């Protein structure tokens, strides 16, 4: 008598239904019906208690380290999805892609887990490929299917492959079965994401969301802009829009080619306040031929290269901006025979405008398959992976809203957005916070390595006097990939660290994601290093947009994480320059804070007591000397009869931010006192008659 187990019958049905799918014809819905009937069995070493923000993996016993420098993206995608399947039960695969800023083996050597390095990463694939059930092919013509395939692979213990790798893996010695083939299934990314929301989302975890860009831009060559000549450039570091005007640019010199290309970039890329453009009009021989407002559909037809530029839609004055190394390029085709071409641009801040009649060699809008490190963690946790635009894309945003509406307040969104302001506002309104983590490496390994957490040792608060008290805070600590990479680099390599009091913002979510990393910073801090919670507590969100009826409950959870992380100061980012009273009250009631640092990129610092909570907004400027000038300007009207408090935000992505702090401190003079954040708020409490923090 033939004995058929339920599991065997299930896989028989899957194979029967997937056969026509793999042939690219009808039959897809049959697969969906089986999925709804029975979810594949999952052997997992993951623990995720209800009171824990993110899961804990098993502790690795030995690691096989795959070096993938310069490996093709489709291979990295294969390896990362394999890593997720294998590490779900017991972390065994560790991937090093290139040379991280902190060094290839820095964290690996710190964790004291035995490991073996493989210079040929195919050896790691060969060792573990038998642990998967099969492969899932993405569609190179619709790159969002990389995310759909990732979600499918996480559910069905598969690996995601390109059509080329599928050919290799379907033959000996691999002979991998085909679980699904998404080629030709969808016309565009929205259709693909809608399909996975309707059919795969019910089978995935709803305790986390994962947003990963499925593609990367082609490499723009260094000589891409060599034919461009500078038309107009701001010579001063202006960040407050005081130079806003309509600027007229004559591009007649660029006539004669197939089109005219106009590029907007940042005149001072080190500070991140590049060109901001509101509207464009183009006149040919005195006649208007083109007119549009930026960040609208009318603009899109003229953009040759978005250059990772952003749209600020936060107020009544939406505009496109190109900060740092970002830029954007328009392509204008004037009528034949045009003799004069004039462009009028309403713009401000640190613009650098150039033009050419020669078509650039490449556009960053040209996309190729890409894979980010967090993908393995998403696969291991059977999370749905998607990428939906939040900035000027109504259809994508609507689908994003549907997904957000399905999860409970307090759910983490791991990854990142196309636009930070728009993305954070969107998820905050639904009670979801973001953990910036798309390039965090080997999260499934680090989340299983437990380490004790303890507070930074307190130091004595100086006697309150009629001085100007200044505290420096490093930005971006909510970003756990920053905690893993660049923060470790500057922490270890900046010779000025420890010479000046600095507040280092860091993510309390490291308690779940990488306890050993939080422990490292706690153990190696000098007496001048203080760890504070990065925006805006457990994760990054805009507090005043969070559902008001859930804010106290969520901040209570944040409070538990802050206490375990040993910090009582939060650096928060909100949509306004001041916190609403009910938000300050919630922070005071639930987190028991010493004080709160608010926002960044403000022209000046101000300190208030909001519902018994000391709050200081942070100032910043475009350079070290600019910060010195801004501090002096803040103190210009100080009469010396009472203490003055000034909070300063420092850009943590600089190569030596502690050296920046030391440089600034040396130029402030004897009336200034540089203090740690805990001292700062204790002094502020005493100056305002509040109880000292215990």
- The tens digit of pLDDT for each residue in 529-587 reads 999 999 999 999 999 999 999 999 999 999 999 999 999 999 999 998 899 999 999 99
Any domain includes 102: yes
Any domain includes 435: yes
The average pLDDT across 99-119 equals: 97
Q: What is the CATH number of the domain that holds 322?
A: 2.60.290
Sheet order of strands, 134-137 included: 158-161, 134-137, 178-181
Residue 239: other Cβ atoms inside 10 A: 20
Q: Strand 644-650 vs strand 613-619: parallel, antiparallel, or unpaired?
A: parallel
The average pLDDT across 461-474 equals: 97
Share of the chain above pLDDT 90, in %: 85
pLDDT at 25: 31
Q: In terms of domains, do 530 and 679 share one?
A: yes
Q: Model confidence at 620, in pLDDT bands (50, 70, 90)?
A: confident
Q: Are the C-beta atoms of residues 10 and 38 closer than 8 Å to each other? A: yes
pLDDT at 354: 98
Q: In terms of domains, do 192 and 58 share one?
A: yes
pLDDT digits (tens, 9 = 90+) for 1-49: 222 233 333 333 334 444 434 433 333 433 332 333 233 344 689 999 9
Q: What does pLDDT average to over the chain?
A: 92
Q: What is the CATH number of the domain that holds 571?
A: 3.20.20.490
Q: Are the C-beta atoms of residues 54 and 509 closer than 8 Å to each other? A: yes
pLDDT at 240: 83
d(CA 567, CA 554): 17
The yes-or-no verdict on residue 617 having pLDDT over 60 is yes
pTM: 0.88
pLDDT digits (tens, 9 = 90+) for 348-400: 999 999 999 999 999 999 988 988 999 999 999 999 999 999 987 899 999 99
Q: In terms of domains, do 78 and 98 share one?
A: yes
Q: Strand 341-348 vs strand 529-533: parallel, antiparallel, or unpaired?
A: unpaired
User: Residue 472 sits in which domain range?
Assistant: 468-687
Any domain includes 580: yes
Any domain includes 508: yes
Q: In terms of domains, do 174 and 71 share one?
A: yes
The average pLDDT across 75-82 equals: 98
Q: Are the C-beta atoms of residues 232 and 249 closer than 8 Å to each other? A: yes
pLDDT at 694: 82
Q: Model confidence at 271, in pLDDT bands (50, 70, 90)?
A: confident
Q: In terms of domains, do 44 and 167 share one?
A: yes
Number of folded domains that form the chain:
3
pLDDT digits (tens, 9 = 90+) for 303-336: 999 999 988 876 678 899 999 899 999 999 999 9
Q: In terms of domains, do 43 and 100 share one?
A: yes
Any domain includes 29: no
Q: In terms of domains, do 482 and 546 share one?
A: yes
d(CA 343, CA 234): 17
Any domain includes 446: no
pLDDT at 43: 62
Q: In terms of domains, do 351 and 372 share one?
A: no
Q: Which residues pair with 436 in a beta bridge?
A: 415
Any domain includes 23: no
Any domain includes 78: yes
The average pLDDT across 490-508 equals: 97
Q: In terms of domains, do 373 and 349 share one?
A: no
**E strand or H helix at 345:** strand 341-348
CA 602 → CA 268, 505, 657, 692, distances in Å? Answer: 18, 18, 18, 28
Q: In terms of domains, do 286 and 390 share one?
A: no
The angle subtended at Cα 430 by Cα 426 and Cα 434, nearest 5°, is 65
Q: In terms of domains, do 642 and 677 share one?
A: yes
Q: Are the C-beta atoms of residues 490 and 474 closer than 8 Å to each other? A: no
Q: In terms of domains, do 88 and 237 share one?
A: no
pLDDT at 13: 39
Q: Strand 209-211 vs strand 158-161: parallel, antiparallel, or unpaired?
A: unpaired
């Amino acid at each position: 008598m033939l004995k058929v187990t339920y599991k065997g019958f299930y896989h028989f049905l899957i194979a029967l239904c997937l056969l026509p799918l793999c042939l690219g014809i009808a039959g897809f819905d049959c697969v969906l019906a089986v999925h709804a009937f029975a979810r594949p069995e999952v052997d997992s070493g993951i623990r995720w208690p209800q009171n824990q923000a993110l899961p804990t993996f098993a502790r690795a016993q030995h690691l096989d380290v795959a070096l993938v420098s310069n490996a093709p993206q489709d291979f990295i995608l294969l390896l990362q999805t394999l890593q997720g399947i294998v590490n779900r039960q017991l972390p065994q695969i560790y991937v090093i892609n290139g040379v991280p800023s902190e060094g290839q083996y820095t964290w690996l050597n710190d964790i004291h887990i035995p490991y073996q390095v493989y210079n040929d990463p195919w050896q790691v694939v060969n060792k573990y490929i038998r642990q998967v059930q099969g492969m899932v092919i993405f569609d190179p013509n619709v790159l969002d299917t990389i995310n759909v395939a990732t979600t499918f692979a996480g559910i069905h213990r598969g690996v995601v492959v390109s059509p080329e790798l599928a050919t290799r893996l379907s033959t000996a010695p691999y002979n991998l079965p085909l679980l699904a083939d998404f080629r030709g299934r969808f016309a565009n990314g929205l259709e693909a994401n809608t399909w996975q929301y309707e059919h795969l989302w019910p089978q995935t975890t709803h305790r986390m969301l994962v947003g990963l860009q499925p593609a990367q831009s082609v490499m723009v060559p260094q000589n891409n802009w060599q034919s461009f000549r500078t038309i107009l450039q701001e010579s001063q570091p202006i960040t407050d829009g005081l130079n806003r005007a309509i600027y007229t640019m004559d591009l007649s010199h660029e006539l004669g080619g197939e089109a005219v290309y106009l590029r907007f970039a940042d005149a001072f890329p080190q500070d991140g306040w590049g060109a901001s453009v509101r509207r464009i009009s183009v006149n040919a021989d005195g006649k208007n031929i083109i007119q549009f407002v930026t960040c609208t559909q009318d603009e899109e037809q003229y953009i040759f290269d978005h250059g990772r530029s952003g749209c600020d839609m936060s107020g009544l004055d939406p505009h496109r901006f190109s900060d740092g190394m970002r830029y954007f390029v328009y392509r204008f085709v004037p009528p034949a025979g045009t003799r004069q071409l004039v462009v009028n641009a309403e713009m401000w801040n640190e613009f650098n405008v150039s033009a050419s009649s020669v078509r650039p060699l490449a556009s960053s809008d040209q996309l190729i398959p890409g894979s980010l490190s967090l993908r393995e963690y998403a696969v291991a946790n059977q999370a749905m992976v998607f990428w939906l635009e939040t900035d000027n894309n109504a259809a994508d945003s609507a689908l994003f809203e549907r997904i957000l509406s399905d999860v409970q307040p307090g759910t983490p969104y791991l990854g990142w957005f196309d636009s930070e302001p728009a993305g954070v506002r969107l998820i905050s309104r639904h009670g979801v916070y973001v953990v910036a983590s798309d390039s965090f490496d080997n999260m499934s390994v680090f989340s299983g390595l437990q380490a004790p957490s303890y507070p930074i040792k307190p130091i004595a608060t100086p006697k309150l006097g009629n001085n100007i008290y200044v505290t420096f805070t490093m930005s971006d600590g909510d970003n756990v990939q920053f905690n893993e990479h660049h923060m470790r680099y500057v922490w270890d390599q900046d010779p000025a660290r420890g010479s000046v009091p600095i507040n280092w913002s860091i993510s309390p979510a490291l308690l779940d994601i990488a306890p050993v990393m939080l422990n490292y910073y706690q153990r190696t801090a000098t007496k001048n290093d203080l760890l504070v919670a990065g925006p805006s507590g457990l994760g990054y969100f805009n507090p005043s947009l969070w559902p008001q009826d859930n804010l106290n409950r969520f901040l209570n959870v944040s409070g538990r994480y802050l206490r375990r992380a040993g910090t009582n100061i939060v650096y928060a980012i909100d949509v306004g320059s001041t916190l609403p009273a009910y938000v300050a009250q919630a922070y005071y009631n639930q987190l028991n804070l010493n004080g709160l640092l608010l926002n960044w990129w403000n022209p000046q610092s101000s300190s208030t007591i909001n519902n018994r909570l000391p709050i200081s907004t942070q100032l910043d400027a475009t350079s070290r000397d600019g910060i010195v000038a801004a501090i002096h300007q803040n103190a210009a009207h100080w009469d010396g009869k009472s203490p003055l408090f000034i909070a300063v935000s420092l850009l943590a992505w600089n190569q030596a931010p502690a050296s920046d702090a030391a440089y600034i401190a040396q130029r402030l003079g004897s009336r200034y006192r540089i203090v740690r954040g805990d001292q700062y708020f204790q002094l502020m409490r005493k100056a305002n008659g509040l109880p000292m923090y215990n």
